Amino acid sequence: MARRTKSAETANATSSARGTIDYPFLILVIVLMAIGLLMLFSASYATAYYENQTSTYYFTRQAIFAVSGIAIMFIVSFMDYHIFKMWSPVIMLVTIALLVIVLFIGKGNFGEKRWLDLGFIQFQPSEFAKLAVILLFSAMISSKAEKMHTFRYGVLPYVTILAVLAGLMFLEPHLSGAILIVGVGAALMFMGGTHWGWFAGAIGTAVVAGAAAISFLDYARQRVQTWLDPFLDPRGDGYQIIQSLYAIGSGGALGLGFGNSRQKYLYLPEAHNDFIFAIVCEELGFVGAMIILILFALLIIRGYWIALHARDKFGSLLAGGVTTMVALQTVLNVGVVTGVLPVTGASLPFFSYGGTALWMLFFEMGIVLSVSRYIPAKKAG
């Protein structure tokens, strides 16, 4: 009886403390989405006309998903984020089931099996996996915070879950998705209090495994060599990054002007998707690209501010996990487009084409805004 009364008092206190959403975070999300839509239109109209005889095909679909996604974000922002703690195990089980199903009936453009086609819509289960990891890890860590320094409670269950998810994604294959999930999961473990020694051991193991793969596997060695010098295979594996570098280089300091990209005319593959940042650099130049990266940096900083000032551990981990996911995905995409990282297929949040991915992104932004509503009034600002 006492426990029930205490829980009711806590729930009432939490509900009565709900305030307004964090407007700086919301404004940054809307601004990035607006710029992303404009750049998607510019980057996609040549491909859209070639493939669908309608130059606005991709833009129109993305705009519809963006408007509906903003509605989703606001709906989620009004929800009590604590509800996700109860549903996180169910969401994870459904996600694992979808990742198994996609291996048998999934579709892809280049032989991979990443998409489930329901007829009226297509989606990637890996997008659900990102959210599922954030929700479940946040729930588990907040419930076992005092035991996170131990192997049994702070390492084993999380590594097991990440191994299952990453293993299923490698079978698709979806390397960038696996990297993002492992990265977000590790970040949440670190935030939760897992001892740094386990991370040092994991990094050391990964370095040794990577060195061994490069030394003994011709395929791995060739991929690394092409990454370091794409002109070794200019018509094969190096073609996409070469065209991306041409686009970035031709943009110069101020760019060729909005709509004036040359590489989007079927020279650069995935110009409206994974490599849209190259078109940004070509049309808006170094200055424009830096402004966009600064907006991303401000969004990430504000997301971590919300995490640091959250009312409880669960909210802090939720906001921190979502923010880390956006940060990792942005760094991975920009790194690939500029040739700093090997090609992995990561999309740029708010910019790359993809309707269901955009819906999931706005759902996650709504979670951060929901957490911000419960920040004590004296800390908000």
Residue spans of the domains in the chain: they are 87-347
Structure tokens at 175: 């390397």
Residues of the chain below pLDDT 70: 1-17, 110-111, 213, 216-220, 377-381
Mean pLDDT computed over every residue of the chain: 88
pLDDT, position 380: 58
Model confidence pLDDT, tens digit, residues 203-243: 888 788 777 767 766 656 777 788 888 888 888 888 999 99
The dihedral region occupied by 345, where left means phi > 0, alpha psi between -120 and 50, and beta the remainder, is: left
pLDDT, position 38: 97
Please report, to the nearest 10 degrees, the dihedral formed by the alpha carbons of residues 32, 33, 35, 39 taken in order: 130
> Nearest 5°: CA angle at 310, between 305 and 312?
150
pLDDT, position 340: 92
Provide the 10 A C-beta neighbour count for residue 103: 14
pLDDT, position 7: 44
pLDDT, position 30: 98
Specify whether the CB–CB gap between 169 and 124 falls below 8 A: no
Structure tokens at 66: 């963006």
> Nearest 5°: CA angle at 338, between 337 and 340?
110
pLDDT, position 203: 86
